[in-house]
Structure 1
Amino acid sequence: MQNKNIYTIINIVTAFAVTMFFSCQSTTKNDLGGLILEDAPIAEGYEINLKYTDSGRLTAILKTSKILDYSNTSFAYHEFPEGIVLDIIDKEGKVSVVTSDYAISYQQTGLIDMRGNVDIKTSDSTHLQAKQLYWDQNISWIFTDQPYKSYLPDGTINEADGFDANQDFTILNSRINDGVMFIEE
């Protein structure tokens, strides 16, 4: 049951990553005669409501009040300075929600960094809260060195000072754990 919950969290982060790569891009020149400044975004988007579909089925909805596209830099990225709300919709129509105060998606490395009140609520009532969470798409690895807290539907609560895990959580390294777990006799 716990592996299913962890797998759901992984799917949420995966959908977030995929959604980032389908965000706005601009190929227009600016007013400086085609000169594009390296430290300025190439495009900005406001009040974004991006819907991602797969084979005609709605799978994710990304909402953000502001996105900055820095694909013109030598290390391209998309920045979400005012945070994100990401609804992930599974094949059964159940919705899981990921929120954070800030997010950034690096195109070349496949790393997604969510910061500030990272909150994941899965459709099966699993709840994870963290200050920061990373997902490396290239090696399918999730990690944080910040404290996190998870609440499972069975009442289990876990607090730790960071973890790293593979995408399906068959390998999980959690540091300095403290929690409450209910066990049947």
Structure 2
Amino acid sequence: MRSNLYTFFICLLFMSYAFVSCSEEREHTAPAIHARDSVPVMTTYGVNTLVSDSGVIKYRIVTERWEVNENRNPSRWTFNKGILLTQFDLKKHVVGYVQCDTAVYFDKDRRWELRGRVRILTSQGVAFYSNELYWDERNHQMWSYTYSHVKTPDKELQGNWFRSDEQMTNFEIRQTKGWSIFSNDEFMPSAGSGTPIIDTSHVDSMRGPVVNQK
């Protein structure tokens, strides 16, 4: 009888220790690492896809990583490994491209935020370089409040304030740092002279080429 009581006591002590240990483990259970609104509903790797709007193909997206998050407000697509966005016209001809290190597209607002080595080339030969650019598809506007460099076939302009239509056929730059115009008919540099550059510190602006739309 004494042996049975001793055995029962040992078992009870062991069970109590195990219960306390399990209780302590439950008390130290870590909470969820990610909040619900930070988890994407889709993550796709190695993307090369076409995007349509109202049944018309408008863009080709090439990116290493594409996250779609519909839980965040506003909902968004995130391209944190870089993106190459090629734009098409109604006849599916390539009319330009946009490239950058990271991008966020707010799909409900139809608005882009591009960051890091933003590069744009249009069908009119306008090249744009900056580290930040905002693009509002709904209002057909682009703008940047950081250093931007615009180059057309006959002129260059640099400044810290940029605004344009989304085709870059009519753009404006302010707080210019300098501009150059190259034209064989209007200007012929003398022998040994360098590229004409005019440094300015005042607020200035210049509009790009305007293309007649048919």
Pair 42,172 (structure 1): closer, same or farther in 2 beyond 3 Å: same
Match for residue 65 of structure 2? 66
Query: Tell me, which stretches of 5 or more residues in structure 1 are unaligned?
Result: 1-35
Alpha-carbon distance in structure 2 between the residues aligned to 1:81 and 1:168: 25
Deviation (angstroms), 1:55:
9.4
Alpha-carbon distance in structure 1 between the residues aligned to 2:92 and 2:181: 29
Pair 170,150 (structure 1): closer, same or farther in 2 beyond 3 Å: closer
The yes-or-no answer on 1:176 pairing with 2:175 is yes
The yes-or-no answer on 1:75 pairing with 2:74 is yes
Alpha-carbon distance in structure 1 between the residues aligned to 2:92 and 2:68: 33
The yes-or-no answer on 1:160 pairing with 2:169 is no
Match for residue 126 of structure 1? 126
Give the alignment's TM-score, normalised by structure 2.
0.60
Query: Tell me, which stretches of 5 or more residues in structure 2 are unaligned?
Result: 1-34, 187-214
The yes-or-no answer on 1:143 pairing with 2:143 is yes
**Aligned 8 A contact 2:129 2:149 in 1:** yes
Pair 145,60 (structure 1): closer, same or farther in 2 beyond 3 Å: same
Match for residue 6 of structure 2? none
Regions of 4+ moved over 6 Å: 54-57, 168-171
Match for residue 113 of structure 2? 113
Deviation (angstroms), 1:128:
0.8
Give the alignment's TM-score, normalised by structure 1.
0.68
Q: Give the aligned residue type for 1:103.
A: A
Pair 92,103 (structure 1): closer, same or farther in 2 beyond 3 Å: closer
Match for residue 101 of structure 1? 101
Task: Quote the sequence identity (%).
Answer: 23
